[in-house]
Structure 1
Amino acid sequence: MTSSRGVTPIMAIFPPRFLVRPLWVGVLLLALAGCASMAPAERPVTDATEVWNAPLSDAETSLPPDPLWWQRFGSPELDRLIARAFEQSPDLAATAERVIQAEQQVRIAGSTLFPSLNVSGSSGARINQGDGSSRRSESTSLSLGANYEIDLWGNLAAGRDGAEASLLANRYDYDAARLSLASAVATSWFRLLTLEERLRVAEENLRIAERTEQIVDARFRNGAASRDELLRQQTTVLNQRASLAPLQLQFRQTRAALAVLTGASPLGFEAQTDSEALLTVNIPGIEAGLPADLLIRRPDLARQEARLQAADANVEQARTAFLPTLSLTGNVGAGTTSLFSLANPAETAGWTVALAQTLFDGGRREAQQTISQSQRLELVEQYRAAILVALQETDDALDRVQVSAGQEALQQTINGQAARTLELTELRYREGSEQLLTLLDAQRTLFQTRDQLVQLRLDRLLAAVDLYKALGGGWQPEEQALN
């Protein structure tokens, strides 16, 4: 007879009077050894008095993130794309399946706290031949058995707690995946709008260059300009045309990447963009709160905390593995000497209490305990590193929000001055009071400032998206505490 763990009970092998005292002394010593474990490592915390290095925006125009943070950009197409990504993204669907698997693991772990029941039955015939005679025997039996391991030391409960912590970690992982997916869709959408706007600006620059080419050509035919001047302007026109192809390629590639994020085929995918859509996107003010708030704002940090709680349960299981197990077994049955019949059966019933203790395993349990403790310490350090990275990401995003806003405002002024300079230079060139090189320089300056203005607008949008992501996107932890 063996226990539920496959260890032969000592009392069933040796007479009790020889082993009672040394057995319980050995069990007591092993129990004390199993209870002796290293002191738990301290969980990392943040200083509640810390503040961000980056300057904060005006609190009167800033709002804390909410779960639908992308709607504050005021882009209906972005809302549609993110909703589609949540519904159709294969990566997000795979993450959801891992949550389902973790839920079933909780059921499996919880089932060990209850008795197990099993029923078995058999019926058959046997023929024995020998010495010229033949003998036939028949039998039918039916039995019901129950087995229950008493959780003396909390080993089974620790396994259930570890499974529940792993379930929470998977749920938080799903929340983090949703946040990352929404951020990726928003980033790709704004990049697509930026490339469309850059194409529009490049085409406008091309029209300006072609218009200037007509002016130079007219002056050349009238003898007021040299052929060298005409060739230079023609070169400028060709360069502007050549600049369109790389932007068009980037636009198609970004659109394909956006399609994949939303779970759609990149073949034939279209997004509803319009002219100057980038400039109509609202850039919201975002309230960052305090650094200490990140611990309850970010699902990835909550995931690390849940994994650490699962590691605590694993350490507890490794500790209780040194202790003896106690199981109860009972069975009832009935049997007859008939085939497929239980008429007039012989009934049996019995029960067993089994106490088992592994005396020697070559150091396996001790090594497992050391591994569990080391894995817990590893998770503590990973949790601490995740907090530091979260603080850095948020502070960097805050800094970028402020810097990019100032740069865009300055670039707006530069762009206005460059447009006015080109207008005046072109007028003087028409009148013959300005050199072509001056006109070309004014053109080049305007083309560059326009393109930089569009890219600075993108920087502001991406900084806002990154800040929403760094702050957890308005995520709130489940109101479910682990035991």
Structure 2
Amino acid sequence: MFVAWKNWRCLALAFGLAACAYQPATTLPELTLPDVAALAGTTVASTQSRPQTQWWQTYGSAELAQLFRELELNSLDLAVGRERLDQAKALRKQQTADNWPSLNVQASQRTAQQLGADERETSSGLNFTAAYEIDLWGSRSAANYGARISELAQQQEYQSLQLQLQANLAKSYFELIALQDRYTIALQNQQASKELLDLIQLRFEAGSASGIELSQQRNTWLATSATVLGLQRAVQKAEGIIAVLVGRESLQLPASSMRLAAVALPDIRSVQSAALLEYRPDIKLAESQLRLTESLLYQEQQKRWPSLQLSAGLGLDELFNSGGEWTASLIGSAAAPIFNAGKIREQINAATSDVTIAQLNYRAVVLQAMQDAVETLSELAYQKALYQVRAQELENNRQLYDLARLRYDSGDTDFINLLTAQRSWFSARDSLLQAKNQQLAASVNLFAALGVAPELAPEITK
């Protein structure tokens, strides 16, 4: 049995040379971000020490919370996202496995027959081999870091998808209950139109109403009937959209007991801290991609320097012969590039460009996030103001309709004025519902733009 004992000193020296490890030093591009505000010149103090990530709870709907739980459990899109997370974890573990030597065993049996002769040769062997590449310059360390960042980036991709689906679900839910309320009001409008049609029919038969008045009211009643049918179809379609989002194979939802009037309208401050944007998954993802490109650049740069490979073997010849002998070996090999026609240099240049692109992309993502936040805050402020106008409009049209009905019954006004007041009142009721739905959708868009619940005023209004 022969062992090259002095070679083990080389092995110890080689491991001592592997002390160089990759040290990430990412410096994010500097951006001065003011607090985002819907109204310029307004400042308020923050009232939240920790942003609320479960932003849907601010609406006070148990039905919506249940749908969000179903989304998390049954969404096929999220299931695919979780599989990709598991895949990224496996790839990270695959990469870090190179931190350890590879060990292999091989058993062999050889038989050779000389053609034209009776001589036959047989041999056998058992070999154990180990190989390890010394990470002299931290290239493998950088690859391990990149694998961890890739796993983190996949997690941020999942969070971005999750936020998008949550926003779609919340807006679809508000759209559904708004449609249900509009359908209920349309039925009431249809009933009121029919009652007025019956009244005019009686007056027409008594000779106190014209055929034109009767036909106009019949047109109003038919129009409200068509609206009822359209809203009924829209409710069914909205239910199907939500069922698909939450992964219900039946494509049906139980009847909702929630009314749009019962949904809380979050009273969101007009000024939000720019620090909230740090919770946006796309900003985190852009940062991770920048860190990943820097680690890849480092790996390309290390290709210019020598690499050191160690291998050790332990073998037994004549495995099936008691006279066999063990042989041990240790081999060290070093390789360095001498000429490659500038290939490594261009690989470094390409990787440098990737870092520059990632830096520019990070700046673009942050600026886009700022624009999204400002636009959604502005839209929310507009929808809040519009809702107040619609509420006043509804009250005014209700009073006008009541007055027109009284005057028509007493003979002080003609039918055209009553018909106009009736249509305006019907339209105002529907417009108010749509205005609240649009305000809710604007608040959801703001939550999606920030990635968390924004800072709220002390009170919640309904």
Q: TM-score, normalised by structure 2?
A: 0.87
- Tell me, yes or no, if the aligned pair for 1:63 and 1:285 is still in contact at 8 Å: no
Task: Name the counterpart of 2:411.
Answer: 432
Matches within 5 A, 1:106-185: 106-130=92-116, 133-185=117-169
Aligned in 2, Cα 1:239/1:187: closer, same or farther, shift over 3 Å?
same
Unaligned runs of 5+ in 1: 1-39, 476-483
> For 1:330, which of 301, 304, 312 is the aligned residue?
312
Task: Name the counterpart of 2:8.
Answer: none
> For 2:431, which of 433, 449, 452 is the aligned residue?
452
Task: Name the counterpart of 2:5.
Answer: none
Is 1:419–2:398 an aligned residue pair? yes
Instruction: Return the offset for 1:271.
Output: 3.6
User: Greater CA deviation, 293-302 or 200-209?
Assistant: 293-302
Say which SS state the counterpart of residue 303 (structure 1) adopts: helix
> For 2:53, which of 67, 86, 91 is the aligned residue?
67
Is 1:245–2:229 an aligned residue pair? yes
> For 2:345, which of 358, 366, 380 is the aligned residue?
366
Instruction: Return the offset for 1:163.
Output: 0.7
Instruction: Return the offset for 1:58.
Output: 8.2
Distance 2:270 2:323 in 1: 81
Instruction: Return the offset for 1:341.
Output: 1.6
- Tell me, yes or no, if the aligned pair for 2:37 and 2:271 is still in contact at 8 Å: no
Give a deviation string over 1:302-337, Cα, whole Å, max 9, x none: 11111110111011111111222111111110111x
Code of the aligned partner of 1:127: Q
Task: Name the counterpart of 2:458.
Answer: none
- Tell me, yes or no, if the aligned pair for 2:39 and 2:270 is still in contact at 8 Å: no
Give a deviation string over 1:182-217, Cα, whole Å, max 9, x none: 221111100101111111111111112112112211
Instruction: Return the offset for 1:65.
Output: 4.2
Aligned in 2, Cα 1:287/1:111: closer, same or farther, shift over 3 Å?
farther
Instruction: Return the offset for 1:244.
Output: 2.0
Distance 2:146 2:444 in 1: 35
Instruction: Return the offset for 1:363.
Output: 3.3
Distance 1:153 1:197 in 2: 68
- Tell me, yes or no, if the aligned pair for 2:314 and 2:329 is still in contact at 8 Å: yes
Instruction: Return the offset for 1:256.
Output: 0.8
Instruction: Return the offset for 1:288.
Output: 7.5
- Tell me, yes or no, if the aligned pair for 2:38 and 2:381 is still in contact at 8 Å: no
Task: Name the counterpart of 1:293.
Answer: 275
Instruction: Return the offset for 1:53.
Output: 4.2
Aligned in 2, Cα 1:145/1:63: closer, same or farther, shift over 3 Å?
closer
Is 1:90–2:73 an aligned residue pair? no
Is 1:316–2:295 an aligned residue pair? no
> For 1:105, which of 85, 88, 91 is the aligned residue?
91
Unaligned runs of 5+ in 2: 1-24, 455-462
Instruction: Return the offset for 1:95.
Output: 0.9
Distance 2:95 2:169 in 1: 38
Aligned in 2, Cα 1:58/1:238: closer, same or farther, shift over 3 Å?
farther
Is 1:273–2:285 an aligned residue pair? no
Distance 1:370 1:113 in 2: 28
> For 1:467, which of 422, 446, 450 is the aligned residue?
446
Say which SS state the counterpart of residue 112 (structure 1) adopts: helix
Give a deviation string over 1:419-462, Cα, whole Å, max 9, x none: 11111111211222211111111111111111110011001111
Task: Name the counterpart of 1:392.
Answer: 371
Instruction: Return the offset for 1:286.
Output: 3.6
Instruction: Return the offset for 1:293.
Output: 0.5
Task: Name the counterpart of 2:20.
Answer: none
- Tell me, yes or no, if the aligned pair for 1:62 and 1:287 is still in contact at 8 Å: no
Is 1:381–2:360 an aligned residue pair? yes
Say which SS state the counterpart of residue 160 (structure 2) adopts: helix
Distance 1:72 1:57 in 2: 23
Aligned in 2, Cα 1:201/1:169: closer, same or farther, shift over 3 Å?
same
Is 1:405–2:384 an aligned residue pair? yes
Code of the aligned partner of 2:59: F
Instruction: Return the offset for 1:59.
Output: 6.9
Give a deviation string over 1:211-243, Cα, whole Å, max 9, x none: 211221121111111111101110111111112
Aligned in 2, Cα 1:409/1:388: closer, same or farther, shift over 3 Å?
same
Give me the identity figure in percent: 30
